[in-house]
A and B are shown apart, each in its own frame.
Chain A
Amino acid sequence: GAVVSQHPSRVICKSGTSVKIECRSLDFQATTMFWYRQFPKQSLMLMATSNEGSKATYEQGVEKDKFLINHASLTLSTLTVTSAHPEDSSFYICSVSTGDYGYTFGSGTRLTVV
């Protein structure tokens, strides 16, 4: 399967600031990437589908103006949490569809908004 690198692994930011999370597919050209959010003791929830060169598709209830997704190349998708608030504190995970093995996931980003 592919190798997916996610950065940063942890970030603490002040309420009202923005945070950018990067997801890189190191050895696979990914036309589509996916962003998930996971709250403590809960399962992964799909937030949005990131499409290279076009607008992302957001799940119902996910604010597209708050969670900005950019997929400018076949190897990089970014998720920017704008005007972050404590309730945005969560574990954010990206993934790449890699064919036979289904999906390869990044290692996740732990966001804490204080």
Chain B
Amino acid sequence: DAKTTQPPSMDCAERRAANLPCNHSTISGNEYVYWYRQIHSQGPQYIIHGLKNNETNEMASLIITEDRKSSTLILPHATLRDTAVYYCIVRLRYNNNDMRFGAGTRLTVKP
């Protein structure tokens, strides 16, 4: 799986959009970008994934650049409960192999 690079921490004001970047310059053509988050003392939670088109669901939007070397996770209206560590992971879809985590971005939503 390709390596990803994320900023270690970010702050965001409550009710504003949180934009979390991820670099994955070595991504291969059939690898997907997955985002998970981990709220303190809980297991990671799936947020969204995509290949090359932008994706949106009830939790977030995922914007992937045309060259697929980077992506941005957008939480449109961040709340205090969105404070968590966000992990960007690149891997093959339907891959039964292990998933390895980088350091992630610690997002703090402030009132």
The finding on whether chains A and B are genuine partners in a shared complex, rather than unrelated, reads: yes
Q: Determine if B34 and A107 form an interchain contact, defined as CB atoms under 8 angstroms apart.
A: no
Q: Determine if A108 and B43 form an interchain contact, defined as CB atoms under 8 angstroms apart.
A: yes
Q: Per-residue CB proximity of A70-103 to B under 8 Å, as 1/0?
A: 0000000000000000000001010101011111
Q: Determine if B42 and A43 form an interchain contact, defined as CB atoms under 8 angstroms apart.
A: no
Q: Determine if B95 and A93 form an interchain contact, defined as CB atoms under 8 angstroms apart.
A: no
Q: Determine if B43 and A105 form an interchain contact, defined as CB atoms under 8 angstroms apart.
A: yes
Q: Is B76 among interface residues, defined by CB-CB distance under 8 A? A: no
Which residues on A sit within 8 Å (CB–CB) of B44?
Answer: 44, 93, 95, 103, 105
Please classify how large the interface on chain A is, using the bins under 10, 10 to 19, 20 to 34, 35 or more.
20 to 34
Q: Determine if A43 and B104 form an interchain contact, defined as CB atoms under 8 angstroms apart.
A: yes
Closest-CB distance, A6 to chain B (whole angstroms): 7
Q: Is A16 among interface residues, defined by CB-CB distance under 8 A? A: no
Which residues on B sit within 8 Å (CB–CB) of A49?
Answer: 98
Q: How far is the CA of A36 from the CA of B95 in the complex (A)?
A: 18
Q: Is B30 among interface residues, defined by CB-CB distance under 8 A? A: no
Select one of B38, B49, B98, B100 contacting A101, CB under 8 A: B49
Q: How far is the CA of A43 from the CA of B96 in the complex (A)?
A: 21
Q: Determine if A97 and B43 form an interchain contact, defined as CB atoms under 8 angstroms apart.
A: no
Select one of A4, A32, A95, A108 contacting B42, CB under 8 A: A108
Q: How far is the CA of A102 from the CA of B102 in the complex (A)?
A: 16
Select one of A6, A31, A46, A91 contacting B98, CB under 8 A: A46
Closest-CB distance, B40 to chain A (whole angstroms): 10
Q: How far is the CA of A57 from the CA of B102 in the complex (A)?
A: 21
Q: Is A1 among interface residues, defined by CB-CB distance under 8 A? A: yes
Q: How far is the CA of A36 from the CA of B94 in the complex (A)?
A: 20
